[in-house]
Amino acid sequence: MTSARRRGRPAPLRWGGLLAVAGLLVAGIGAGVQFGRDQAGASPTPGPSASPSARPGGPKALLTPPSESPAEKPDQPSASSSAGTRKGTPATTSARPGRPTRISLPQLGITAPVVGIKAVNGQLIPPADATKVGWWSGGAQPGAARGSAVITGHTVHNGGGAFDDLDQLRPGTTVTVTTARGTLRYQVTSVTTYRKRSLAAHAGELFDQQVKGRLVLVTCEDWNGQVYLSNVVVVARPMA
């Protein structure tokens, strides 16, 4: 999957859908701007606002999202038979919430700086440097008792993006987030691939700020040589 992603022209990062979070309507990347990259660190290049052709329909779930309450599962994706057994049970963390400065995904050998990002003209845009990831400062902080802490990063088709292999995470694996107040550990509970148009229908549940505190990671997927057709969304719960 990774090799196929990295062939072709520069990858436009496009996050389809609308994020209705905390009363703020945040248009997903791709709703107005594309970001093409020849290599990691290249400056973003604005492009057309049209979304790529994508067939409507439900998300393709690699793993089934956990069930906490009816409010969190209005449209559960189908489960893969290869989900496997989870390691332990996520629990509410006792660490204080704080602004994230670094994220580590040991299973993928990834450690990336985290910078705060804001909605600009209704769009949530990751850092221009593809080796960094962006935390939406208008949402929950990691470690907060409630809300989705949203972190988004680039996938670069020819390599160098912080979240190039995000789709390879599996449930039970650990994600570590460093803040100015300490280190938080999360356990991955779901990895789901959404077609661009499908993501909009699930944005309310994925980026909900009323749920129990959790981490949500987002990047692009399914490079077709010109555009990305899908988004990968990883949900992780705090570990005790």
Query: Which residues are known catalytic residues?
Result: 154, 220
* Distance, CA of 152 to CA of 131 (rounded, Å): 11
Q: How many CB atoms lie within 10 A of CB 46?
A: 10
**Which amino acid is it at 99?**
R
Cβ burial, residue 161 (10 Å; 0-12/13-18/19+): buried
Burial (CB < 10 A; 0-12, 13-18, 19+), residue 53, is exposed
Please state, in angstroms and as integers, the Cα–Cα distance from residue 100 to each residue in 134, 212, 231, following that order: 9, 18, 23
> Is 167 strand, coil or helix?
helix
- Cα 225–Cα 234–Cα 52 angle in degrees, nearest 5: 30
Q: Which helix (H) or strand (E) covers residue 124, if one does?
A: strand 123-124
Separation of CA 140 from chain center: 14
Q: Residue 133 and residue 179: Cα distance in Å, rounded?
A: 14
The separation between CA 47 and the C-alpha centre of its own chain, rounded to angstroms, equals: 22
Rounded to whole angstroms, the Cα distance separating 117 from 95 reads 23
